[in-house]
Amino acid sequence: MGIYPPSLGRLIEQFSKFPGIGQKSAERLALYALRSPKELAEGLAQSLLEVKEKIRFCSICFNLTDKDPCPICTDQRRANGSLCVVEGPGDQLAIEKSGAFKGRYHVLQGVLSPLDGIGVEDLRIAELMSRLRNETIKEVILAINPTVEGEATVSYLADMLRGKDVIVTRIALGIPLGGDLKYIDSMTLKRSIDNRSSCAS
Amino acid sequence: MGIYPPSLGRLIEQFSKFPGIGQKSAERLALYALRSPKELAEGLAQSLLEVKEKIRFCSICFNLTDKDPCPICTDQRRANGSLCVVEGPGDQLAIEKSGAFKGRYHVLQGVLSPLDGIGVEDLRIAELMSRLRNETIKEVILAINPTVEGEATVSYLADMLRGKDVIVTRIALGIPLGGDLKYIDSMTLKRSIDNRSSCAS
């Protein structure tokens, strides 16, 4: 366009390749990087390079890690017999932050999606089955996002795990805390009524 | 927190230092950088370093530039006697993108703000006066944001320029295109009524 100095234009273009960052936001970020002390831009640049160099997938749970195997897979206190199966690293982070789970994880690295050409062999399902044979696992918790593809993956995994000596559960679907029945979609509402729990305890 | 691998944690922290990027957005950007080809992260890292190294202020108009003086200050076709005074480089970019102005710019690099300790000597006002003496300037257009500090700066500059052999104008204040009178603040509405223009022409 010739409006920006070329190197500034390139920085704006690079920022705008990221998700949720449009032209305007990219401009704002680039101008902020320019205005700020050198350390800010250099710090981000260095972290970007470092992360691409250091981060890999854990060879056991396929989560992101600096060290292989990852700290959770090597922590004996977390070998409590519970295995939480998630779709991607972001889901694992969300559960870990909630502090609600103290066992180990298995990251599928996707869900079954025939339309996108993602089949059973593209996910870490064979590795999950091998862990069930080699580790002492009492319960598999399916914490997969309730999308169409996620539901199909849950069904597939539940079928695969049937007959194995392991309890298979899935996380509850229902109204989120602070939600309002008026604004909840009817499929979620139906689920939350079907899955109602006793108030006795 | 020990939830992220350390290098990923550092990248999230670096992203979250930028304006409008909170913890959640920083996580999303960092995970995206991880998931994407190496070129994306390296491209952004390189642009960040390049911009901090190459971009400087034009010694004539104090806008951001790769070359000093900047391409606008060296372009003879833009020496049309009009000088547009703006607050910062972002404002200059916005005007340049609109294509509505074909003269040269002067970037004040801020507005008068006694509460923040920004006075006349912190802005590029002396340099503006020196340009008025040395260049052939017929009109000074004050395109300063209509904030409290911006208005004070407009008044100050209008006083300074009074008596010089130059036309001083400011950009129109009023309802933005597509705006709705119902939702416009009353100060803007008052301005747009006070500054009404004839429909004859």
Closest CA to B90 of B145, B22, B146: B145
Query: Mutating which of B24, B44, B68, B70 best tests the A interface, going by the most A Cβ atoms within 10 A?
Result: B44
Distance CA B64, CA A62 (A): 45
Q: Is the pLDDT of residue B86 over 70?
A: yes
pLDDT score, position A199: 83
The answer to whether B44 contacts A3, with C-beta atoms less than 8 Å apart, is no
A61-72 pLDDT, tens digit each: 999 998 889 999
Q: Is the pLDDT of residue A152 over 90?
A: yes
- Cβ–Cβ under 8 Å, residues A44 and A103: no
User: Quick one: pLDDT band at residue B1, thresholds 50, 70, 90?
Assistant: very low
Residue B178 placed within a domain:
yes
Residue B139 placed within a domain:
yes
Dihedral angle over CA of A160, A162, A166, A168, nearest 10: 80
Comparison of pLDDT for A91 and A200, the residue scoring more: A91
Comparison of pLDDT for B22 and A199, the residue scoring more: B22
User: Quick one: pLDDT band at residue A168, thresholds 50, 70, 90?
Assistant: very high
Both B90 and B166 in a single domain? yes
pLDDT score, position B2: 64
Residue of A41, A48, A96 lying closest to B33 (CB–CB) = A48
Mean pLDDT rounded to a whole number for chain B: 90
- Cβ–Cβ under 8 Å, residues A104 and A82: yes
Query: Mutating which of B1, B8, B54, B101 best tests the A interface, going by the most A Cβ atoms within 10 A?
Result: B8
Both B137 and B61 in a single domain? yes
Average of per-residue pLDDT across B105-116: 93
Both B87 and B17 in a single domain? no
- Cβ–Cβ under 8 Å, residues B103 and B83: yes
pLDDT score, position A197: 79
- Edge-to-edge, what's the strand order for the sheet holding B139-143? B104-107, B82-86, B139-143, B167-170
> How much is the pTM?
0.73
Both A67 and A129 in a single domain? yes
Both A73 and A42 in a single domain? no
pLDDT score, position A1: 44
A113 beta partners: A118
A54 in contact with chain B, both atoms CB, cutoff 8 A: yes
Phi/psi at A25 (nearest 5 deg)? -65, -40
Residue B1 placed within a domain:
no
Q: How many CA atoms lie within 13 A of A177 on its CB side?
A: 0
User: Quick one: pLDDT band at residue B98, thresholds 50, 70, 90?
Assistant: confident
Distance CA A31, CA B55 (A): 11
Residue of A32, A52, A64 lying closest to B38 (CB–CB) = A52
Helix (H) / strand (E) element for B28: namely helix B23-35
Both A133 and A87 in a single domain? yes
Query: Mutating which of A11, A29, A74 best tests the B interface, going by the most B Cβ atoms within 10 A?
Result: A11
pLDDT score, position A201: 56
pLDDT score, position A94: 87
- Cβ–Cβ under 8 Å, residues A15 and A21: yes
Count chain A–chain B contacts defined by CB atoms under 8 A. 161
CA distance B31 to chain A (A): 7
Distance CA A46, CA A51 (A): 9
Please confirm whether the linkage preceding B69 is cis (ω < 30° from 0). yes
B93 in contact with chain A, both atoms CB, cutoff 8 A: yes
- Among chain B residues, the shortest Cα distance to A15 is held by B44
B144-157 pLDDT, tens digit each: 998 899 999 999 99
Distance CA B1, CA A151 (A): 32
User: Quick one: pLDDT band at residue B180, thresholds 50, 70, 90?
Assistant: confident
Both B37 and B62 in a single domain? no
Both B151 and B179 in a single domain? yes
Determine the Cα angle at A62 with ends A61 and A68, to 5°: 85
3-state helix, strand, coil in chain B (%, to 5): 50, 10, 40
A91-133 pLDDT, tens digit each: 998 898 888 899 999 999 999 999 999 999 999 999 999 999 9
Burial class (CB in 10 A: 0-12, 13-18, 19+), B57: middle
Residue B144 placed within a domain:
yes
Chain A residues close to B92, C-beta within 8 Å: none
Segment 12-41 of chain B within 8 Å of chain A by CB: 13-15, 17-21, 25, 27-34, 38, 40-41
Residue B116 placed within a domain:
yes
Contacts of B188 (CB under 8 A, 6+ apart): B173, B174, B175
Both A45 and A119 in a single domain? no
Instruction: Among B19, B38, B54, give the residue marking a domain's end.
Output: B54
* Percent of chain B residues past pLDDT 90, beyond the cut: 60
Which domain, by its residues, includes A45? 6-54
Residue A163 placed within a domain:
yes
* Percent of chain A residues past pLDDT 90, beyond the cut: 59
Tell me whether 0.90 is exceeded by the ipTM. Answer: no
Distance CA A29, CA A35 (A): 10
Residue A13 placed within a domain:
yes
Both B20 and B89 in a single domain? no
How many domains is chain B partitioned into structurally? 2
Residue B72 placed within a domain:
yes
- Cβ–Cβ under 8 Å, residues A84 and A143: yes
The answer to whether A97 contacts B3, with C-beta atoms less than 8 Å apart, is yes
Q: Is the pLDDT of residue B201 over 60?
A: no
Q: Which residue type does A82 have?
A: S
Both B40 and B139 in a single domain? no
CA distance B197 to chain A (A): 32
Both B50 and B63 in a single domain? no
Distance CA B30, CA B41 (A): 9
B195 in contact with chain A, both atoms CB, cutoff 8 A: no
Measured over the CA atoms of residue A98, residue A103, residue A104 and residue A107, the dihedral's sign is negative
Provide the 8-state DSSP code for A122: G
User: Quick one: pLDDT band at residue A41, thresholds 50, 70, 90?
Assistant: very high
The answer to whether B47 contacts A10, with C-beta atoms less than 8 Å apart, is yes
pLDDT score, position A175: 85
pLDDT score, position B117: 92
Average of per-residue pLDDT across A134-142: 93
Query: Mutating which of A40, A51, A66, A74 best tests the B interface, going by the most B Cβ atoms within 10 A?
Result: A51
Residue of A3, A14, A51 lying closest to B97 (CB–CB) = A3
The answer to whether A14 contacts B43, with C-beta atoms less than 8 Å apart, is yes
Mean pLDDT rounded to a whole number for chain A: 90
Distance CA A201, CA A5 (A): 67
